[in-house]
């Protein structure tokens, strides 16, 4: 039996939780799900330009785990961009940094009121 996943620290939720190609009905699109901790990894590395070791410390995970989360997030985003799929940001196992409240897994979790 695998070890339970340790919650990752995230600073906040996304400003929008769905992105889709313009001019195409959401009903006709395939969708990929980007976990909240994957979005946080993208934000720390690609937006804030942190190295993986610093970003891993901010998320309270090992550098190896951080690298895996980042690689999975980049693959999801690349698939959506290349294949014209809708991206839904939700789910995962994470804790809002500074709040100390753990969020659950699955598709129907916490609804965000603010962004990063």
For 29-44, how does the pLDDT look when each residue is reduced to its tens digit (9 = 90+)? 999 999 999 999 999 9
Residue 47 CB partners (closer than 8 Å, separation 6+): none
Tokens of 72: 């999975």
Is residue 81 situated within a structural domain?
yes
61 occurs within a structural domain: yes
Instruction: Say what the pLDDT of residue 1 is.
Output: 81
Q: Is residue 79 part of a domain?
A: yes
Instruction: Give the pLDDT confidence of 12-21 residue by residue, as tens digits.
Output: 888 899 999 9
Say if 26 falls within a structural domain: yes
- Looking at residue 98, what is its pLDDT? 60
Domain count, the chain: 1
The pTM of the whole model exceeds 0.85: no
In this predicted structure, what is the pLDDT of residue 92? 85
Structural domain includes residue 116 = no
In sequence order, what are the residues at sequence separation of 6 or more whose Cβ sits closer than 8 angstroms to the Cβ of residue 25? none
Q: Which residue ranges of the chain lie beneath pLDDT 50?
A: 100-114, 116
54 domain-assigned = yes
- Residue 73 placed within a domain: yes
Range of the domain at 20: 8-100
């Amino acid at each position: 039996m695998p070890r339970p996943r340790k919650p990752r620290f995230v600073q906040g939720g996304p400003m929008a939780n769905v992105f889709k190609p313009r001019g195409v009905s959401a009903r006709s699109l395939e969708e990929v799900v980007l976990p909240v901790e994957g979005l946080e990894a993208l934000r720390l590395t690609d937006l804030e330009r942190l190295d993986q070791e610093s970003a891993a410390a901010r998320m309270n995970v090992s550098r190896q785990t951080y690298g895996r989360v980042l690689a999975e997030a980049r693959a999801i985003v690349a698939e959506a961009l290349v294949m014209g799929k809708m991206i839904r940001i939700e789910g995962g196992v994470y804790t809002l940094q500074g709040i100390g409240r753990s969020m659950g897994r699955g598709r129907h979790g916490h609804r965000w009121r603010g962004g990063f």
